């Protein structure tokens, strides 16, 4: 299967793609209509073909403007740019080069399907589908529909769907989230940053602004800075085993720190922390010095931790390598989402665990597969603070 090559002259058409129009072996580029209009508007009026070099940025930076996806027969309808192939049928609307605008007319919805407008965001590659749900206290879609929407082959693709709901008890907004498996976590650290940026966009905020957001884990206060970074007061960590929850016994202080955990015949040394959701943090197996994250079979061992009998509500698991007292590296297996590129609450939990195990200081850079976060556990208020980015990827309408 081949991609559109930047710089090659191929006749292109703007097509509405439905489940009858493309074979499953074709590759398409999905992007926002706004970005395409900007590019297409720059094409000379006398051009008979589109030079795809104008899409070079789109091809090089898929997270910024688009995402390559294998197309298959039951993919949700979407706006695409594709090579003009003889197998394409029918072409619903062709780019009007003379008018220097992209115009298109979608076919009527089949079987009166509902539509859902969304904006895709990611925080260090941990990606979410954001839905404006301010007009109702009930999420607009069900957990089962969220599973379909998060499917990377048959839907939009994402680690979860986040709903921006009206605030309660004096808060500005409320947050609900459905994971890609349909489960509902208490909250999500990367997700809360994405939600804060999305709210700032909805409010057309141009200055630094903080928001009080009600979550199932309690009050969370993110602040969107003018540089686009989001600082989140994640609150104090909870070390009470019953409230994490975990069945592992606590030490003399009642905390689960450096506790042995048998996982499929191997003993891992773990520390358990709740950041509003459960986390099991490990720096390696018993008797080992440093954990080799590159050699870690995460897809195999991650589910064993998540569904371990010692975690009645399942657990997120962070595997950590100490690079220095102020620099940590981690890979994560998220409850309900599996291996992800980043986990904000996990980064907070691992710093707390590192401090409790006397492996690091209270302020660290944490490297995740998707990029770094700055985490601080302050002594004066016992709160954990997370600083990191959140970026919009594209917007669209899904048919349910």
Supply the DSSP string of 199-256, one letter for each residue. HHHHTT--S-EE--EEETTEEEEEEE-TTS-EEEE----B--TTTTT--SPP-TTS--
Three-state secondary structure call for residue 4: coil
Q: Please give the chain's pLDDT, 400 residues, in tens.
A: 233 333 333 333 333 333 322 222 223 333 333 344 344 444 444 433 434 444 444 444 333 333 333 333 333 333 333 323 233 333 333 333 333 344 445 555 555 678 999 999 999 999 999 999 999 999 999 999 999 999 999 999 999 999 999 999 999 999 999 999 999 999 999 999 999 999 999 999 988 999 999 999 999 999 999 999 999 999 999 999 999 999 999 999 999 999 999 999 999 999 999 999 999 999 999 988 889 999 999 999 999 999 999 999 999 999 999 999 999 999 999 999 999 999 999 999 999 999 999 999 999 999 999 999 999 999 999 999 999 999 999 999 999 8
Q: What is the pLDDT of residue 206?
A: 85
The pLDDT score that the predictor gives to residue 22 is: 29
Strands 371-377 and 218-224: unpaired
What pTM did the predictor assign?
Answer: 0.71
Name 51's Cβ contacts closer than 8 Å, sequence gap at least 6: 7, 9, 43
Residue 42 is predicted with a pLDDT of 46
Separation CA 358–CA 120 (nearest Å): 39
Predicted pLDDT of residue 113: 78
Rounded-to-integer distance, Cα 58 and Cα 29, Å: 9
Q: Which amino acids are annotated catalytic?
A: 188, 343
**Residue 289 confidence (pLDDT):** 80
């Amino acid at each position: 299967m081949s991609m559109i090559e930047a710089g090659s002259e191929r006749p292109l058409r703007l097509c509405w793609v439905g489940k009858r129009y493309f074979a499953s072996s074709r590759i398409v580029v999905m992007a926002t209509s706004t970005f395409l209009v900007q590019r297409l508007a720059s094409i000379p009026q006398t051009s008979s073909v589109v030079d795809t070099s104008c899409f070079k940025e789109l091809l090089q930076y898929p997270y910024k403007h688009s995402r390559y996806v294998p197309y298959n027969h039951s993919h949700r309808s979407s706006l695409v740019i594709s090579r003009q192939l003889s197998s394409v049928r029918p072409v619903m609307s062709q780019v009007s080069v003379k008018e220097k605008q992209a115009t298109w007319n979608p076919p009527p919805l089949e079987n009166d399907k509902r539509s859902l407008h969304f904006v895709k965001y990611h925080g260090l590659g941990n990606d979410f589908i954001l839905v404006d749900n301010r007009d109702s206290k009930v999420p607009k879609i069900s957990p089962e529909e969220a599973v379909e929407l998060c499917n990377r082959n048959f839907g939009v693709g994402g680690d979860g769907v986040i709903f921006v709901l009206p605030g309660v008890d004096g808060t500005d907004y409320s947050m609900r989230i459905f994971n890609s498996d349909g489960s509902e976590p208490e909250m999500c650290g990367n997700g809360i940053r994405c939600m804060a940026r999305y709210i700032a966009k909805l409010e057309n905020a141009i200055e630094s602004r903080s928001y009080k957001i009600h979550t199932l884990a309690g009050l969370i206060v993110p602040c969107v800075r003018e540089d686009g970074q989001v600082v989140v007061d994640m609150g104090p960590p909870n070390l009470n085993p019953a409230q994490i929850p975990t069945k592992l016994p606590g030490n003399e202080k009642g905390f689960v720190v450096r506790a042995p955990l048998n996982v499929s015949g191997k003993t891992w040394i773990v520390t358990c922390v709740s950041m509003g959701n459960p986390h099991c943090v490990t720096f390696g197996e018993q008797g080992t010095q440093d954990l080799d994250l590159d050699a870690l079979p995460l897809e195999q061992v991650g589910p064993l931790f998540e569904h371990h009998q010692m975690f009645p509500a399942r657990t997120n698991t962070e595997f950590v390598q100490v690079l220095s007292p102020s620099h940590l590296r981690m890979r994560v297996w998220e409850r309900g989402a599996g291996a992800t590129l980043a986990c904000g609450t996990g980064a907070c939990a691992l710093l707390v665990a590192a401090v409790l195990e006397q492996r690091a200081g209270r302020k660290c850079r944490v490297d995740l597969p998707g990029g770094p976060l700055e985490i601080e556990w302050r002594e004066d208020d016992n709160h954990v603070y997370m600083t990191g980015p959140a970026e919009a990827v594209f917007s669209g309408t899904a048919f349910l």
